[in-house]
């Protein structure tokens, strides 16, 4: 039972993304419908169950644990979970405990997160224009997020911004966002919009802004040097020679990154998705709840990894969202 998790294509699974809630205090247009129906509490894994499940993955070789949502910091008592997970950092079994957040609660929680062993956070932020921010998040307020970023930096957290590249929305902020990050010693990652969920009011083809085009525009002002390094995720990085910062590109459509995929995602209800871009799913909640022993859970994890596909099917090349999956991005935590 101590053998590492190896998928059918000889990729070791060392990175787990876990959604701790489907709820969020924003309603970003590419992630959620405006009037979401959230899950009843009894369907969600308790914090204790999340601890058991994540600990099982750590025993099986997961070294990086990223907590997501929804917005993870709106989950009641979530700090108790972070504090509990810190024991795996102390033992050396877990190399990194981190989270992706919209930043709305960072001003409140940054210090406690650092105390629990978190050293790096990703903040999703697509625009520095207050009116556009309100429009894309529907419920969000930009000054609150900016205060959260400042607090995170002040307590010693390393902050990286994640921006979804949206044609006609933030194209004109390409250099503004780069300079905002450079001034604060932060890296920046651009993400191509993915065909996730039918939100009823969004044209995914119309939103799609190829990161090839984005990078070419960056190169008109900056000297970009390709970097070999990876951070455990799908981003490919360049160094901006003028500022020294890193800018990453996550390109599920322009350049498929599946050959090096080392991660799986677990939802807040205990479903494991072996691929973000496939519908195949396995249930971990039932074996978790069926026994006080972790044996059934670990068997279910291994069986799921044995079904991990070679790659996803996202494709916009034929001017339709081929490979689209039906669930919202918030369901699997990005």
Dihedral angle of Cα 328, 330, 332, 334, to the nearest 10 degrees: 110
Q: Is 273 annotated as a binding residue?
A: no
DSSP state of 52: H
Distances (CA, A) of 51 to 12, 44, 109, 323: 22, 13, 20, 33
Check the annotation: does 295 bind a ligand.
no
Q: Is 119 assigned to a binding site?
A: no
Q: Is 66 annotated as a binding residue?
A: yes
Flag whether 275 is marked binding: yes
By C-alpha distance, which of 4, 6, 57, 14 is closest to 307?
6
100 is in an annotated binding site: yes
The helix or strand, by DSSP H or E, that contains position 67, with its residue range, turns out to be strand 64-68
Strands 96-101 and 120-124: parallel
CB 178 within 8 A of CB 153: no
| Helix and strand counts by DSSP (H, E) for the chain | 11, 12
Residue 224 phi, psi dihedral angles, 5° rounding = -110, 130
Q: Does the annotation place 265 within a ligand binding site? A: yes
Angstrom CA distances, 289 to 30, 78, 171, 277, stand at 33, 21, 47, 28
Question: Position of tokens 């990085």?
Answer: 237
Q: What does the block give as tokens for 190? A: 């651009």
263 labeled binding residue: yes
Radius of gyration in angstroms for the set of CA atoms belonging to the chain, rounded to a whole number:
19
268 is in an annotated binding site: no
Helix (H) or strand (E) holding 273: strand 271-273
Q: Is 264 annotated as a binding residue?
A: yes
Task: Please indicate if the annotation marks 17 as binding a ligand.
Answer: yes
Query: What is the DSSP code string of 162-211?
Result: EEEEBTTTTGGGHHHHHHHHHHTT-EEEEEE---BS--SS--HHHHB--H
Q: For residue 160, say whether it is annotated as part of any ligand binding site.
A: yes
Alpha-carbon gap, residue 242 to 224, rounded angstroms = 9
Residue 108, marked binder? no
How far apart (Å, rounded) are the C-alpha atoms in residues 184 and 166? 24
Binding residues for GTP: 17, 66, 100, 160, 263-265
Binding residues: 17, 24, 28, 30-31, 66, 70, 100, 124, 160, 194, 258, 261, 263-265, 275
Binding residues for S-adenosyl-L-methionine: 30, 70, 124, 194
Binding residues for [4Fe-4S] cluster: 24, 28, 31, 258, 261, 275
């Amino acid at each position: 039972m101590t053998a590492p998790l190896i998928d059918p294509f000889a990729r070791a699974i060392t990175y787990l993304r876990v959604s701790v809630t489907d709820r969020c205090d924003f309603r970003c247009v590419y992630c959620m419908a405006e009037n979401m129906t959230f899950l009843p509490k009894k369907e969600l894994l308790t914090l204790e169950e999340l601890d058991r499940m994540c600990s099982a993955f750590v025993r099986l070789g997961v070294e990086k644990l990223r907590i997501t949502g929804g917005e993870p910091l709106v989950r009641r008592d979530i700090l108790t979970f972070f504090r509990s997970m810190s024991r795996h950092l102390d033992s050396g079994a877990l190399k990194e405990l981190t989270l992706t957040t919209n930043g709305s609660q960072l001003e409140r929680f940054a210090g406690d997160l650092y105390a629990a062993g978190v050293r790096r956070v990703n903040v999703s932020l697509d625009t520095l224009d207050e009116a556009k921010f309100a429009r894309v998040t529907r419920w969000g307020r930009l000054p609150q997020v900016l205060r959260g970023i400042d607090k995170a930096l002040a307590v010693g957290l390393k902050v990286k911004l994640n921006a979804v590249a949206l044609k006609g929305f933030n194209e004109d902020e390409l250099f503004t966002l780069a300079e905002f990050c450079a001034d604060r010693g932060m890296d920046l990652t651009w993400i191509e919009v993915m065909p996730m969920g039918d939100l009823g009011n969004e044209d995914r083809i119309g939103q799609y802004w190829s990161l090839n085009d984005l990078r070419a525009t960056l190169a008109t002002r900056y000297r970009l040097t390709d970097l070999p390094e990876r951070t455990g995720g799908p981003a490919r990085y360049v160094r901006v020679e003028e500022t020294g910062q890193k800018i990453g590109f996550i390109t599920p459509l322009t350049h498929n990154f599946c050959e090096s995929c080392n991660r799986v995602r677990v939802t807040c209800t205990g479903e494991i998705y072996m691929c973000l871009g496939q519908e195949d799913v396995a249930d971990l909640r039932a074996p978790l709840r069926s026994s006080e022993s972790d044996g059934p859970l670990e068997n279910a994890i291994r069986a799921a990894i044995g079904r991990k596909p070679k790659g996803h099917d996202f494709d916009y090349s034929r001017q339709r969202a081929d490979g689209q999956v039906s669930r919202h991005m918030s369901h699997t935590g990005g």
